[in-house]
Each structure stands twice: as structure tokens, then as C-alpha cells.
Structure 1
Amino acid sequence: MTTTDAPATTLDQTAFALEWEDWHRAHEARRADPEGLLAVTAVHWLDQTPRRLDGVPGVWSTGDDGPVVELSADEELEQDGVRIIHRHAFGPIAERAGVTVRSGDVVIEVARRGGQDIVRPRDPAHPYLARFRGTPTYAPDPRWVAHGRFRPFGSPREVTVGSAAEGLQHVYAAPGEVEFELGGEVFRLIAFNGHAPGTLTVLFTDATSGLTTYAANRSLDIAAPDAAGALTLDFNRAVNLPCAYTDHATCPLPPAENRLTVGIEAGEQTPLQRHRA
């Protein structure tokens, strides 16, 4: 490397790190939202037996009409600015979908996970949320940016994976695999559809899992591949799922095929704090 080459390389490294820091700061801010998953105080699994739930008004059950709440004369909830009183049936809720209602400052998530209806209150005054001081990470390093290719299946495959919640399973439609190279070795990961159309998400573990990174899973979002299937995996942006922070999460575990033998020393590490049920 010549003397004139050095400043350009340094600037590239600096710009890469600054861009990563801006991204991670925004990601942590969303994670610590006062109504986000770090504010969850409990997860209640509904069945046909009506019962009261800690921190939530009403008597709750579920059945053919989906989740149902029976409110006494001095109780009410609010959904999209509309008061809910007496008996309210939410109707069947689709898998991985949900609605939110309010009781004062507390947001109550009514959702379906792994084929079961749940109620999760989120309290902005939750002490765990107040104690949250961020997530440790590896220093951003361009060597953990891998270029690869999306290899679609002939048709989407149903993939069943475990869950951070004991006894629960999740089923996802996987559109294909992501193939990439690291350190001269080729790897493949089963990919699921991302949040935005065309994007992908991979769940994985690696040789750092349970040592410096969270044991159960990490997640990486991947921008939509180009017309030829080419894509980029920036493992510096590998993040923890909510189950790394709280026992009140139902996060999916990676498919067995997504257990990498190499250590991915990039992205988020094991949180320093955890809310245990």
C-alpha cells in the first residue's frame, strides 16, 4: 500500500463504521420504544376457561370467536379511539397477526402465535425498560460483508421451526436459500420472506452462539436480490430477537440447516440485561 492509498482506505473504513453506528443507534431506539417488546410485563396463553389476567382488565378466554373479553361495569378498554365495554369478541386472529387495545397507559397486544391466542400487556413504566442500557456489539468490520446469490425453490417450502416459548412451533413459507462465501468456504442458509416485499430474512446460529452471542438465534435482514439473484449479507447487522431480552417472547428458532460452523464475530452480542418471567 502506498502513502497516498492509506487515507482513502481509512476514509472508507470510517464511513463504513459511521453508517453502521447510525443504523444501530436507530435499531436500538426502536427496540427500546416505550410500547415495544421490552415493555412486555407478561405473556398470557388463552384457552376456553374464562380467567382474569394480571395487569389486564376483564375476564379473558378464546374459542370459535377468537379471543373474548368480558368487562365488568367499572372496566373498559379502548381500540383505535373506540371504547370497549361489556363483552367483546375480537374474532379469529391470523397466525403472526394481532390487534392492540389500551387500558390507560398500558398497551395490550392480543395476538396469535404458534396456533395459540395470547395476551401481552406492554407497560411504558416497566422497570426492565427503564434499566435497558443498550446491546453490546462487535466493532463493525467490512470483512464480514459477504456477497452471494439467492437460489429460489421451485415453489415455497413450508418449514417448521421451534420457538423460544417451550412447546411452541412456527411454520414459515421459505422461498429459497441464500448461498454465500466466507473465508473461502461456501455456506447456504434457508431464507424466509422479509418485512418489505422482495426482501429476505435469515435466522442462524454460529460458533459464537452461547459464547459471545445469544445462544438461541440471531437474525439478519437482506435487501432484495437483483434480477440475477445477486445479494449482499452484511453480518455486522446481525441482530438479537426479543427472546434475547425477555422470557415473554415467542421468537422462532433457526432451521437446523442454518447452524453455521464458522464463528460470525460480527453484529450484536448477548445482552447484558434480561427480563426473566
Structure 2
Amino acid sequence: MLNDLKAWQAQRHAELSAPDSWLGMIGLFWLSPGANQVGCHEGAAIQLPDGPEKLGDVIWQGDTLLWQPVVGAAQSLRTDLAGPPSVIDHQNLSFFVVDRDGQLAVRLRDRTWAASRPFGGLAYFDEDPAWRITADWLELSPPLDMAVPNVSGDLLPVTVTHKAVFLVAGQPVELLPMSVGEQEVFFVFRDRTSGKSSYGAGRFLKTKPAVDGKICLDFNYAYNPPCAFTAFATCPLPPAENWLGFPVAAGEQKPVDRHD
């Protein structure tokens, strides 16, 4: 398992040091219905750090989302709601639209960010087989409806149909998933290392789906959310039910690099 973990850590390093890393984010701009100007003009809705005063407009009208550049034809834009969003490039900059519960925002990225501040890497707790836990996957009847906060203070409605139940030091522990898909199950949690040796707002964990009423929670693969690296992310926070009353000394530690 050590080789698998090292390969995963190398992949994490490659993702975070790439041109499209979260560390390259330089802006998050919430859109209003109608035309939203993109440019370096002080009145632009999407502020560019340099370039033309007006590069174009992001036009949001009902279910229609368009990019209308000053020069060239308009084009339809996809948000990230159902998959990868459309990306608009301008020199070293790129931007795309994200959908957060019906509210749209433009994320602005500098793809040359690493030239001035290269990624310094991540620190990890030592691999510990004790944190590779096989938990019971129990159905909730009725399902639990929760309002999960994010770092922006907004609430995201989540319906939870199952819970993972396991023992730590002989005591029963429950962990609620934030989403359950055909390929993976997604958890958000915090523990007694949060704000000390790990990121204060908590960490993410993805697992394979449950099989025969069992699910494997390998906390050695716990990782920092995007908001650990940039202020321009809208990460979910762990619900109170996922605040663990003990330290989970496994997975990624608190990151050193953060770009705001």
C-alpha cells in the first residue's frame, strides 16, 4: 500500500504545481443577470490585473450564458454544474464560470503563477495502517436533510441516506457522507489535529463505494480542500456531525503555500 500512497501523493503534487492549480487562482467574481464586463477598467465586474479596459462581457440571461468578446463572435459558456466548464483564455489569464446552487461566479486564473512563486510541496503524516478502517455502511431511515455551510457562509442542502460506523479506541464513531456516487463517496471532516498540524477548516476524504454493507475509510488519503490554498474557493465545511473528538494523524498536514 505504501507504493500506492506515494503515487497518490506524487499525483497531488503534480496537480497543485500545474498551471491550472488552485494556487493560480487570483479572483472570484459573482455575476449579476445581464452583461458583466471583463477587463481592467475599475468598473468592470470581472477585474483583470492588466490588459484592455474591456475584453468583453459575460452575459447571463435566464438559462443562457454567453461570452461576447469585444473582438469576435459570441460563444455559449458551460458552467461546472454538469462537468468541466468552458474556459476563456487571454494571454496568461483564463477564466470560467462556476454554479453554486444557482448563483454564478467567474473564477480567474493566472496560468504563469509558478514563475514567481513555485509550489513548495506538501507535508504528510507517516502512513499508518491503523487509519485504514473498514466501516459498516448503514442506511438512514428516514434520510437526514442537512444544510451544510461553506467557507463563504452560504448553506448547501444535502440529503444523507447512509452513514459510516466504526470503532476508534473501542468507541463507536459515525461519519456522514456529503455525496454518494457510482464511482466514489465523498466525506468532509475535522478532528483534533485541525488548526494545529492539519488545516483548520477540516479535510476531504474520497473512498470507493460500499460493497456488501462495508466501506473502506483510508484516512492516509485525507487531503486539504482547495480553500486551504486560495481564498477564491467555495469549499464545504464539515457538518457538526463530522467533527471527530480525537486526532486523525494521517493524510495531508497543514499546507505552507497559500495564494490570496
Give distance in 2, aligned partners of 1:238 and 1:25.
Answer: 14
Give distance in 1, aligned partners of 2:116 and 2:15.
Answer: 12
Give distance in 1, aligned partners of 2:230 and 2:236.
Answer: 14
> How many equivalent pairs are there?
246
Question: Given residue 145 of structure 1, which amino acid in structure 2 is its aligned partner?
Answer: R
2:43 alignment partner in structure 1 = none
Aligned-pair CA distance for 1:66: 4.2
Task: Name structure 1 gaps, 5 residues minimum.
Answer: 1-15, 77-84
Moved over 4 A (4+): 93-98, 127-130
Query: Does residue 256 in structure 1 map to residue 244 in structure 2?
Result: no
Query: Does residue 170 in structure 1 map to residue 156 in structure 2?
Result: yes
Alignment of 1:190-205 (within 5 A): 190-194=176-180, 197=182, 199-205=184-190
SS at match of 1:260: coil
Contact 1:98–1:110 (CA<8 Å) still a contact in 2? no
Alignment of 1:80-91 (within 5 A): 85=73, 87-88=74-75, 90=77
Higher alpha-carbon deviation: 249-258 or 25-34: 25-34
Aligned-pair CA distance for 1:185: 1.4
2:131 alignment partner in structure 1 = 144
Contact 2:176–2:242 (CA<8 Å) still a contact in 1? yes
Give distance in 1, aligned partners of 2:162 and 2:116.
Answer: 37
Aligned-pair CA distance for 1:18: 3.2
2:224 alignment partner in structure 1 = 240
Aligned-pair CA distance for 1:163: 0.9
Give distance in 1, aligned partners of 2:138 and 2:94.
Answer: 41
Distance change in 2, residues 1:98/1:220 (3 Å): same
1:208 alignment partner in structure 2 = 193
Distance change in 2, residues 1:57/1:150 (3 Å): farther
1:49-74 deviations in Å (ceiling 9; x for gaps): 6333223931234341443433213x
Question: Given residue 54 of structure 1, which amino acid in structure 2 is its aligned partner?
Answer: Q
SS at match of 2:176: strand
Task: Name structure 2 gaps, 5 residues minimum.
Answer: 39-45, 49-53
Give distance in 1, aligned partners of 2:133 and 2:113.
Answer: 39
Give distance in 1, aligned partners of 2:216 and 2:116.
Answer: 33
Aligned-pair CA distance for 1:241: 0.8
2:111 alignment partner in structure 1 = 124
SS at match of 2:87: strand
Distance change in 2, residues 1:150/1:268 (3 Å): same
Question: Given residue 207 of structure 2, which amino acid in structure 1 is its aligned partner?
Answer: I
Give distance in 1, aligned partners of 2:154 and 2:66.
Answer: 22
Aligned-pair Cα RMSD in Å: 2.5
